[in-house]
Amino acid sequence: MVEYEQLNEKIQKQAEKAWDIASIGTWLRRITANGIPKKTLDREEIANNKEQILDRVQLRAEECTFLSHI
């Protein structure tokens, strides 16, 4: 039951979030036109920046979810 409540809270926060639609649209048009950019990171860089990388991936996933409901 706790997981459901946490998920429900997260959904509510996402619904109330002020999205920067212009920058999300720019990002989406860029990857649509050019594809997803390839990045080669070394293991040490990934390990040192793990939290920032995961946060960025999470944000992009949330933006895509937001766009799918417009």
Question: Which ranges constitute the DSSP H helices of the chain?
Answer: 2-16, 21-34, 43-48, 50-68
Distances 29 to 37, 39, 44, 60 between C-alpha atoms, Å:
13, 19, 31, 14
DSSP letter at 18?
Answer: -
Cα distance between residue 9 and residue 11, in whole Å:
5
pLDDT at 13: 85
Taking only the tens place, the pLDDT of each residue in 34-65 is 998 888 888 999 999 999 999 999 998 888 88
Read off the pTM: 0.65
Taking only the tens place, the pLDDT of each residue in 12-35 is 888 888 888 898 889 889 989 999
